[in-house]
Amino acid sequence: MPKQNPVYGRVALIGLGLIASSMFWAIKRAGLAGEVTGYARSEATRATAREIGLCDRVCDSAAEAAEGADLVVLCVPVGAMSAVAAEIAPVLKSGATVSDVGSVKAAVIAAIAPHIPAGVHFIPAHPLAGTEHSGPRSGFAELFDNRWSLIVPTAGSDAAAVAKLRGFWEGLGANVEEMDAEHHDLVLAVTSHTPHLIAYTMVGVADDLRRVTDSEVIKYSAAGFRDFTRIAASDPTMWRDVFLNNKEATLEILGRFTEELFALQRAIRTGDGDMLHDYFTRTRAIRRGIIEAGQDTDAPDFGRSKAGS
């Protein structure tokens, strides 16, 4: 990807896990910022970041990282957003933009917005990209390439500041779309949150079935169970906060999932092969659509070998 002129003079990344580290490498790849500061709550994480050259300057407090920044991106679990926003609020410079990468939006807006001082733009966002890996070493510059990043402006978001943030995410390689918070949370409950909950449940069921030994579960993991465990390997703190903060939408989709599951259960019990075949044919077409849209690959490793390396 060719170098661009910097979109922001200084970018601060608060929280240095998979998303923030990938943002840093993508920022450097495209020349999107003059300087990138970073902060992580864990001293060990900060030490790792310094060791691998993650961020131009790793700071020892969120406020130190955010001071003087033109863009501050909160890359912390949803449950930590409010406390971090409160800490950095006094040092935010006029005209700066505060954003985030949380996978829940209504709750994040409620947590952050009260702390944003006048003259500072608050523009929530959510990159729909990730792997099951976490931590500062897990990032790579290509994570956002041809993935979607959703910008979720609030009622008072400045149009020019929104356009600038859009340009930043496009510079990181992402496709960008705007969406309101409530619709975002419902869409993500379908496409991400409920599938993760089901994956955790399936792995938990296997753990509970003592008739299947641990060695058999691991040794004979066919593709389906293997892929469930890949999803269920995701960061537990992040997913705990997601479900606690997107309760209504997740429960709505779980209710619909349960209805579908009962219908399939009935078809299996009554031997309704036509219903099963039609259902699987329809859902298979959705998977093909995802591949055709360039949002995944039909390769056996789903193209994720780079992320796991």
* CB neighbourhood size of 2 (10 A): 6
- Alpha-carbon gap, residue 22 to 149, rounded angstroms: 14
- Alpha-carbon gap, residue 142 to 144, rounded angstroms: 6
Question: Which residue(s) pair with 125 in the sheet?
Answer: 151
Number of domains in the chain: 2
Contact present, 19 and 101 (Cβ < 8 Å): yes
Among residues of the chain, what percentage have pLDDT more than 70?
90
Residues 6+ apart with CB under 8 A from 218: none
Place of tokens 């997601």: 242
**CATH number of the domain encompassing residue 19:** 3.40.50.720
| Same domain, residue pair 166 and 208 | no
What pLDDT, in 10s, does the model give residues 56-70? Answer: 999 999 999 999 999
For residue 218, being part of any structural domain is answered with: yes
H or E element in which residue 150 lies: strand 148-151
Sequential DSSP letters for 208-224 = H-TTS-HHHHHHT--HH
Residue 196 sits in which domain range? 183-270
Output the pLDDT for position 209: 65
Last residue of a domain, one of 179, 207, 230: 179
Instruction: Kindly indicate the confidence band of residue 237, based on its pLDDT and cuts at 50, 70 and 90.
Output: confident
Work out the mean pLDDT of the chain and round it to a whole number. Answer: 89
| Same domain, residue pair 84 and 196 | no
Residue 41: DSSP 8-state: S
Output the pLDDT for position 271: 95
Last residue of a domain, one of 138, 158, 179: 179
Output the pLDDT for position 30: 97
| Same domain, residue pair 132 and 66 | yes
| Same domain, residue pair 173 and 199 | no
| Same domain, residue pair 193 and 90 | no
Contact present, 9 and 36 (Cβ < 8 Å): no
For residue 282, being part of any structural domain is answered with: no
Last residue of a domain, one of 159, 179, 199: 179
Contact present, 41 and 66 (Cβ < 8 Å): no
Specify the pairing of strand 125-127 against strand 148-151.
antiparallel
Instruction: Kindly indicate the confidence band of residue 307, based on its pLDDT and cuts at 50, 70 and 90.
Output: very low
For residue 302, being part of any structural domain is answered with: no
For residue 103, being part of any structural domain is answered with: yes
| Same domain, residue pair 130 and 142 | yes
Instruction: Kindly indicate the confidence band of residue 12, based on its pLDDT and cuts at 50, 70 and 90.
Output: very high
Instruction: Kindly indicate the confidence band of residue 277, based on its pLDDT and cuts at 50, 70 and 90.
Output: very high
